[in-house]
Structure 1
């Protein structure tokens, strides 16, 4: 594997990783201060719940940034447009994709550190596996300059994270019976289906039709491109089934409550 660590990368990579770490710290503090002043339920939470509340604040912020940048680079910009450039798509990258990968590494490092520090309160072994795979794949793509398009597609799946976090917020705030909780659950189900199930089908289909390019990656990168998305896809399916069961349970309770209300 050839690492392109030129003058630009020597500044951009460390700076973007540091920016990701600082982003987490700043948003954590903003979430803490705003929540303590604007949400009555926040002050009634336990210490650990407050930590997770704030943690989910920077998780949501990173998810929105990552999804927006990934969407722009893959669908709006010409970086990965095969009708514009002659070079193979597997080798294409930009300073913005490098920066986004660095910021994401900073985020995952910070979040992983908090998960380990408070383990298992902020997440169990599946979170360790998810973050480990994410950092490995992003780091390898950053160092090699290969397969940026696939990493960005996977990063776009973070678009579902705000719905996951809002569900948790509403739960601890005692709003599980609210309409917002139900609507958010439906949005989470639809978003997960599109961004983490159907999108992965597209990713694997894209790999299939560009397999000659995928095979041109160095050996470790080649097997990683095949293995990491596959592992993440399996986790996505498992979580999707849990989301589906939770949605069905919530809707069933709501329907039963509605029927009891009519009877009364």
Structure 2
């Protein structure tokens, strides 16, 4: 009984210490970005290992892939989960949360942020860093993917991917640490909704299912998702910037330039990729007739 009482007291002591740690550090305002990075690291590690484990036992194609292909297979598993996470977060903040609503009168929307919105952006950093380390929940995701692309260039992507990830990583990092322009950062990040479909297309192609009906449906899905999330949504974002230009111009010069430069470059790249998607879809449909 004495031993049990001592054990209970020890457990209670550890619980109290853990509560102090969480309150004073993990959820304290100055440490939120770093806490979210650690969370992203853990999430990334778990997803990577699960992707590798499940693929080894349930996908015969996986074991026949080259080392680089298996690396990309696992990386796309992480990027798919990341895309689902950040898309959900972005849709919430842009369309459902009151944080960036015009009905709120808590200052300019360009300077609004919260612990939750900052945490969401920080998760990307943690996810990305571990993706980069795995060469053996977005600042980090883009920088990590950029690291892999650069390390294995041009196996995982050409110069357009380097430009895309560099601009995205810089914009998300600035928004996370400065608290400026988080609304527009989340608007752009909604475009990640197209990532799972793109990854699925790669999986189907790698598995030798390029002529399957699933591959055709995937192509059609990419077309509509891209049109909505990477074309029309960008038009909406630029219109929103136009309506709130008096607030945008109050941002620091760095933030002001990022609001215009990054979406503009990404929008042009999206249009180029969209044209390629249209040509690819037309070619696929022509073969099936």
Select between 78-87 and 236-245 the one with higher mean Cα deviation.
Answer: 78-87
Instruction: Answer yes or no: is 1:212 the counterpart of 2:230.
Output: no
Flag structure 1 segments of 5+ consecutive residues without an equivalent. 1-6, 256-264
Q: Deviations over 1:159-186 (max 9, x none)?
A: 0000000001000101111111101110
1:25–1:114 CA distance, 2 compared to 1 (3 A): farther
- Work out which of the residue numbers 102, 121, 127 in structure 2 matches 1:82: 102
User: Can you give the 5+ residue segments of structure 2 that lack an aligned partner in the other structure?
Assistant: 1-26, 125-138
Q: Aligned residue for 2:216?
A: 182
| Residues 60, 165 of structure 1: 8 Å contact kept | yes
Judge which range, 243-252 or 191-200, deviates more.
Answer: 243-252
For 2:74, which of 51, 54, 57 is the aligned residue? 54
Task: Report the counterpart of residue 258 of structure 2 in structure 1.
Answer: 224
Tell me which moved more, 82-91 or 123-132: 82-91
2:75 & 2:173 partners in 1: Cα distance? 23
Structure 1 stretch displaced more, 19-28 or 47-56: 19-28
TM-score under structure 1 length normalisation: 0.90
Q: Which of these two proteins has the greater Rg computed from alpha carbons?
A: 2
Aligned to 1:111: 145
Matched, 1:98 2:132: no
Which of residues 58, 69, 76 in structure 1 aligns to 2:89? 69
The residue number in structure 2 matching 1:135 is 169
Seen in structure 2, the aligned counterparts of structure 1 residues 22 and 121 have a Cα distance that, compared at 3 Å, is farther
Report deviation, 1:51. 0.9
CA distance in 2, matches of 1:80, 1:109: 27
What is the aligned length?
A: 249
- CA distance, structure 1, for counterparts of residue 251 and residue 80 of structure 2: 33
Partners of 2:38 and 2:151 in 1: CA distance: 20
Where does residue 205 of structure 2 map in the other structure? Answer: 171
Cα distance in 2, alignment partners of residues 93 and 10 from structure 1: 13
What per-residue deviation string (whole Å, max 9, x for no partner) do you get for residues 12-70 of structure 1?
11121233233323212211110111111212222211111111000101000000011
**Structure-2 residue corresponding to 1:18:** 38
Compared CA separation, residues 215 and 234, structure 1 to 2 (3 A): same
Indicate the RMSD between aligned Cα atoms, in angstroms.
1.4
Greater displacement, 106-115 / 95-104: 106-115
